[in-house]
Structure 1
Amino acid sequence: MKNLTLHKIAKACGGKLFGCDEGMDKEVSGVVLDSRLIKENFLFVAAKGERVDGHDFIPQVMEHAAAGVVCERAPEIVSGPYILVEDSFQALKDIAEFYRKQLDIKVVGITGSVGKTSTKEFIASVLAEKYQVLKTEGNYNNEVGLPLTVLKIQEHHQAAVLEMGISDFGEMHRLSKIARPDICVLTNIGECHLENLKSREGILRAKTEIFDFMQEDGAVCANGDDDMLRRIEEINEGTLKGRKPIYFGLDESNPVYADEIENRGLFGSSAKIHMKNGEFKVKIPLPGVHMVYNALAAACVGSLLGLDGAQIQEGIAKVKPLGGRSNIIHLPDRVIIDDCYNANPVSMCAALDLLEAALTRRVAVMGDMFELGENKEQMHGRVGAYAVEKGIEVIVCIGELSLNMYDSAKKGAREAGSESTELYYFPGKKEFLEKMSGILRKGDTVLVKASHGMAFEEVVKALEEK
């Protein structure tokens, strides 16, 4: 890893190096926080977590010929080099920041309330048509995951696509300091993490901290159909001051826009993308109109990094679904829309839009949405009403907060005269799973969606096994 020697690591994180008489200028091969991932010549960062203290595994790590250890307290038995620091998690961030500065690589940072992960997949797939790409895996998008992702960048990589997630002010500032993106992509400003950020204005302010450490020649791609993002008339930070975002969307006023959209239901869609340097048709393999926005973001980034229309077309067509995120599971007797990784009001309504496109009887199994702040009851209620508006035949609401969803759906169905709408409420997954076989029919299309803490992957598994 370029310039990542024990000596420079200690200097970067403000630590004190011990037990290193020789080899202090040898570059380490990797950096890990999990002792199970240690390999020869890797650096192990020992940190105290909620359940496990990494310091307990230092002897085991040294047995595997680790290059050294970063730790908050000196090992009882010293069998190799270690760097003593005040805070191991902060040291991890400092090391990643130092390493990022050594790299000659294009970094794309993605943030927004909804769609970060799917947008990341689209952008990475497009860039892979020309570059060797590293992308964020899983949920490695926070102040622990992002530095670990940066530290996975190797010399053969030519571009990195990094998802950047936050829940409070200041977090994006710190993430930007590590990632130092060349291109920032903002998907939208919705209603999540309101407990800390209070309002959509607050969310916008927190998300745009991503600009704080952008590269001097950087660019911003933003959803121009989002009313809050449209307020960014120009960047107000540092060397980018006065530079305007490149907007993408479905409205023709955006410099990058899509039209001639053909919805193919659960099989995706097609569209024509218009850009400054031309226009071209794309086939979008993932279902939902919101995926068109992801394709537009990818086209915008791809164009900035020198890809032509044919390469962008090919990259979009190759995008694969991720488990728990609008993943369509075709079974002999039903279709499942597995979208249970996370949820907020915007993504919940987008998932219902997708379910609406199914040609069979449609079933929405929805659970609680977390971190919505003081208006959480009303927000759950809006989702219930929206499900009725979309004509969903069977609406299942699970969880304490989802009682508001159920009540609102019941009221909406009554007012609309939708007597055929089937409505069910269950306090928890267990109660639903016990009654599930009596609710579902052969041939149904079933949406499963809730916040990650509801663990609705258990519902998906049960549906697959029935």
Structure 2
Amino acid sequence: MILTIRNIVPIIKAQWVGQNNTAIIEYISIDSRSLQNDENTLFFAISGPNHDGHSYIEELIQKGVQHFVVTKIPSTVTGKANFLVVENTLDALQKFAAFYRSQFDFPVIGITGSNGKTIIKEWLNFLLSPDYNIIRSPKSYNSQVGVPLSILGINEKHNLGIFEAGISMTLEMEKLQKIIQPTIGILSNIGSAHDEGFSSVAEKIKEKLKLFVSVNVLILNKNKTICAFVNPKIKIFSWCSDDKSADVFITKKNIGELTELQVTYREDTFPITIPFQDQASVENAIHCMMVMLYFGYNHNVIQTRMAHLYPVEMRLKVKNGIYNCTLIDDSYSSDFQSLKIALDFLENQKQHKKKTIILSDIFQSGLSNEALYSQVSQLIISNKITRVIGIGETISQFKNKFINCDTFQNVAEFTNAFENLNFENETILIKGARDFNFEKIVSLLEEKTHETVLEINLNAIGHNLSFYKSKLKPKTKMMVMVKAFGYGNGGFEIAQLLEHHKVDYLGVAFADEGISLKNAGITVPIMVLNPETTSFSAIIQHHLEPEIYSVKGLKAFLKIAEQKKLKHFPIHIKIDTGMHRLGFEEENLQDLIAILKGNETVQIKSILSHMATSDDLKHDAFSKSQIALFEKLSSQLQTELNIKPIRHILNTSGITNYPEAQYDMVRLGIGLYGISNDAEEQKELENVGTLKSVISQIRTIDANESVGYGRRFIAEKETKIATIPIGYADGIRRSWGNGVGYVVINHKQAKIVGSVCMDMLMVDVTDIDCKEGNTVIIFGENPTVNFMAKQLNTIPYEILTSISQRVKRVFFRE
């Protein structure tokens, strides 16, 4: 569908200000980072609580973007582009998507519920794609922004839509209903997710049901509570396992690792076997089966296809690869919409100048192969991909459309040629349809480490950052601490995310941490908190900014700076207001002033201090005395040196407990990583790091037999013991063993028995249904780092920073 600026103006009720209202729009964007933005892009400047798309307009114009939907035209860009001025840019995006959806007339499945939406969508796509050309939400694009972007992927060749809708508060679903306009509804379930956004369960049910006000049929698990809120005019197609009055009655039994469903529909009973046993997966599969029944599929087709359902990976993962490569693993998905998302993620997470994509044939684009691979080629060119490796019969036919491209008919051919492809010092996006088994490629390219990983949720980091930003005054700057390898979570990947979110400063402990970030391409100013005098030359060379906390250190730095003939090199002055660790005290402030007065070699970029008890309101008087002393001494420096630097004293706890002392900047530390000592604040934060391992071996021991060094555990009865390949060399304290701590296996707690070994620990799984190779949660949502710290009489910082570098970090985005 071709639209011009002139067409779009009345749709979104905009006032047009510009010179060319006949310009053709081919791409809608809200992401200033996307390399897909060009002269045919219409950029919606979305304004949120912590980000304002208007601030990126000047930068986007320089990159060639000429068309913007705005609430105001920034003075710096007046007359430089086409502007569509509206009252609310998000509302305008939603109106445009609703109009676009109304131009197509085919069945659309709308899915909502507390859990399972993305899995049901992906499984329906798998089950129905042999017979339909499907457009679906990429990944879990189900929000107020994600839904309109998903809808805008529809083209004229699609004949079935599957879209999910997620809400967290009232008044949201009506907007999504107007955009999706579903003809078939699926209510997956009602759980506790986002309870805080609703006054009651009833209010949540009513809000979710608003998605289905105009559907031809609503598919749900028959439930008296939910059905009581459904409009009686809506046709319900229900299933149930304990109410035979449902349209479809289902019983189930476990067979090995499978579940057999006995399905009774219209007086006909037939079996369906699915490769899962957990209740959530079974319910999700049943919803998919209900759609197939509604569409009239025969039993044999349903049985055959559902037997091949598979675990859905909903995350893009960043992994360490061989020969200093970085991998982005998206090896179970290959469609045009998700390719755009993956390429944007590649650009955001790239760690090397060289960028490679390994891509399978793309399915269900709705386009002819010629048109599809032409568009894929343009997408890859705009994202400045260095090398393309195509795998599949179809993409091989279009090799000539790609620059620097090798193609293979299948993964086996690629594997045979692997040694000659010379992967080294590059970021590699691995993106393939499930049938291609690209996990084999990931295995070839992934750095071989042991089976314990620390998974870092980049979405959670973004959420936690936004939470603390929401506490700040509009002009308060933010420094984020990424010292100690990002509190154990990883340095560069998190620094890159923070750079995108436009934090003002990063803080590291030592120069080598900052040098590593600078060498990796981080451009945000970096302050070194504990610089050693031997590192001053390297700090200057790599444009880092040292914290100066003593006369001796200042003189040493000035000597080197003067030798290098520097002018106004940024430094940060640390004042000791009561922490008594580092900093200038009140009695030597005059010496500091005497040295700096009239000195043009350095520039005092900021004055700071550190609070000792901001997390403990029992010491409120002491904290306030620190703030008062900081005010006095920093003001004295400002007056006598005639300067106006940034001032900052608050750390994570201080942001919450002493908002009156924000000054010009605050320093966010462990709060970014989802840890707070305040119980109420902890509820608002999202878990960032999940430490996982696997079961290496399971054995059964008899009563009176022992486990581990020193025979510290003696079995009282026959006991099943699982060995996990993680120990104190990985950062798990020995004191967490001997029944103090536990791990989680298949949602159940397994007590650690005996001593934690250097590389292993053992747990009691007598009452847990598990097998070798099953995933083990060491910490994350349960047990939390806070819980572990409390049990071990330590602090969360120590738990996080103790995780050794031999534990592989895997970064992912939902």
Question: With structure 1 as the length reference, what TM-score do the two structures score?
Answer: 0.66
- What are the Cα deviations for residues 314-367 of structure 1, in whole angstroms up to 9, with x where unaligned? 543444423369x9x99998799x999999xxxxxxxxxxxxxxxxxxxxxxx9
Give the CA RMSD over aligned residues: 4.6
The Cα shift of 1:243 comes to 3.2
* Equivalent AA in structure 1 for residue 67 of structure 2: G
Distance, in Å, in 2 between the alignment partners of 1:136 and 1:281 is 31
Aligned pair in 2 of structure 1 residues 393, 43: CA closer, same or farther (>3 Å)?
farther
CA contact (8 A) 2:752 2:761 kept: no
Distance, in Å, in 2 between the alignment partners of 1:96 and 1:221 is 25
Q: Report 1 or 2 for greater relative contact order, CA contacts < 8 Å, sequence distance ≥ 6.
A: 1
Partner of 2:633: none
Aligned pair in 2 of structure 1 residues 125, 138: CA closer, same or farther (>3 Å)?
same
Aligned pair in 2 of structure 1 residues 342, 320: CA closer, same or farther (>3 Å)?
farther
Partner of 1:362: none
Q: Which has the higher mean CA deviation after the structures are superposed, 92-101 or 297-306?
A: 297-306
The Cα shift of 1:263 comes to 4.4
Aligned pair in 2 of structure 1 residues 339, 55: CA closer, same or farther (>3 Å)?
closer
Question: With structure 2 as the length reference, what TM-score do the two structures score?
Answer: 0.40
Helix, strand or coil at the partner of 1:47: coil
CA contact (8 A) 1:121 1:319 kept: no
The count of aligned residue pairs is 374
Aligned pair in 2 of structure 1 residues 118, 287: CA closer, same or farther (>3 Å)?
farther
* Equivalent AA in structure 2 for residue 288 of structure 1: D
Aligned pair in 2 of structure 1 residues 199, 259: CA closer, same or farther (>3 Å)?
same
The Cα shift of 1:173 comes to 1.8
Distance, in Å, in 2 between the alignment partners of 1:88 and 1:177 is 17
The Cα shift of 1:20 comes to 4.6
Instruction: Give the alignment partner of residue 751 of structure 2, picking from 402, 416, 422.
Output: 422
Aligned pair in 2 of structure 1 residues 42, 440: CA closer, same or farther (>3 Å)?
farther
Instruction: Give the alignment partner of residue 323 of structure 1, picking from 313, 316, 319.
Output: 313
Distance, in Å, in 2 between the alignment partners of 1:281 and 1:334 is 38
- What are the Cα deviations for residues 164-191 of structure 1, in whole angstroms up to 9, with x where unaligned? 1111121112211221111111111222
1:220 partnered with 2:218: yes
* Equivalent AA in structure 1 for residue 275 of structure 2: P
CA contact (8 A) 1:284 1:291 kept: no
CA contact (8 A) 1:324 1:339 kept: no
The Cα shift of 1:46 comes to 1.6
Q: Where do residues 325-364 of structure 1 align in structure 2 (5 Å cutoff)?
A: none
Partner of 2:302: 312
Q: Where do residues 37-436 of structure 1 align in structure 2 (5 Å cutoff)?
A: 37-62=36-61, 66=65, 68-75=67-74, 76-212=77-213, 214-215=214-215, 218-224=216-222, 226-232=223-229, 235-236=230-231, 241-251=232-242, 253=244, 254-265=246-257, 268-276=258-266, 280-323=270-313, 422=751
- What are the Cα deviations for residues 242-268 of structure 1, in whole angstroms up to 9, with x where unaligned? 234111233362212433533443xx5
Partner of 1:360: none
Helix, strand or coil at the partner of 1:228: helix
The Cα shift of 1:96 comes to 0.9
Aligned pair in 2 of structure 1 residues 204, 436: CA closer, same or farther (>3 Å)?
farther
1:445 partnered with 2:437: no
CA contact (8 A) 2:190 2:205 kept: yes
Distance, in Å, in 1 between the alignment partners of 2:289 and 2:51 is 43
The Cα shift of 1:280 comes to 4.6
Q: Which has the higher mean CA deviation after the structures are superposed, 254-263 or 242-251?
A: 254-263
CA contact (8 A) 1:273 1:280 kept: yes
Aligned pair in 2 of structure 1 residues 305, 58: CA closer, same or farther (>3 Å)?
farther
CA contact (8 A) 2:752 2:762 kept: no
CA contact (8 A) 2:6 2:21 kept: no
Distance, in Å, in 1 between the alignment partners of 2:80 and 2:152 is 25
Distance, in Å, in 1 between the alignment partners of 2:808 and 2:262 is 36
The Cα shift of 1:223 comes to 1.2
- What are the Cα deviations for residues 74-108 of structure 1, in whole angstroms up to 9, with x where unaligned? 25153442211121111111111111111123211
Structure number with greater Rg is 2
Aligned pair in 2 of structure 1 residues 30, 255: CA closer, same or farther (>3 Å)?
same
List runs of 5+ in structure 1 lacking aligned partners: 344-366, 377-390, 395-408, 411-419, 425-433
- What are the Cα deviations for residues 291-312 of structure 1, in whole angstroms up to 9, with x where unaligned? 2221221122233345444443
- Percent identity among equivalent residues? 26
1:34 partnered with 2:25: no
The Cα shift of 1:33 comes to 0.8
Distance, in Å, in 1 between the alignment partners of 2:80 and 2:163 is 36
Partner of 1:414: none
Distance, in Å, in 2 between the alignment partners of 1:203 and 1:339 is 30
Helix, strand or coil at the partner of 1:152: coil
Distance, in Å, in 2 between the alignment partners of 1:93 and 1:136 is 15
Aligned pair in 2 of structure 1 residues 83, 200: CA closer, same or farther (>3 Å)?
same
Distance, in Å, in 2 between the alignment partners of 1:308 and 1:142 is 35
CA contact (8 A) 1:392 1:421 kept: no
Q: Which has the higher mean CA deviation after the structures are superposed, 314-323 or 187-196?
A: 314-323
Partner of 1:12: 11
Partner of 1:380: none
Distance, in Å, in 1 between the alignment partners of 2:156 and 2:27 is 12
Distance, in Å, in 2 between the alignment partners of 1:85 and 1:438 is 60
- What are the Cα deviations for residues 395-428 of structure 1, in whole angstroms up to 9, with x where unaligned? xxxxxxxxxxxxxx99xxxxxxxxx96169xxxx
Aligned pair in 2 of structure 1 residues 263, 43: CA closer, same or farther (>3 Å)?
farther
CA contact (8 A) 1:89 1:144 kept: yes
The Cα shift of 1:30 comes to 2.5
Aligned pair in 2 of structure 1 residues 85, 435: CA closer, same or farther (>3 Å)?
farther
Distance, in Å, in 2 between the alignment partners of 1:138 and 1:436 is 39
Distance, in Å, in 2 between the alignment partners of 1:98 and 1:220 is 24
Partner of 1:387: none
* Equivalent AA in structure 1 for residue 42 of structure 2: L
List runs of 5+ in structure 2 lacking aligned partners: 318-438, 461-673, 684-718, 723-738, 741-748, 764-770, 786-799
Helix, strand or coil at the partner of 1:290: helix
The Cα shift of 1:125 comes to 2.0
Distance, in Å, in 1 between the alignment partners of 2:129 and 2:44 is 31
* Equivalent AA in structure 1 for residue 113 of structure 2: G
CA contact (8 A) 1:39 1:66 kept: yes
* Equivalent AA in structure 1 for residue 240 of structure 2: G
Helix, strand or coil at the partner of 2:162: strand
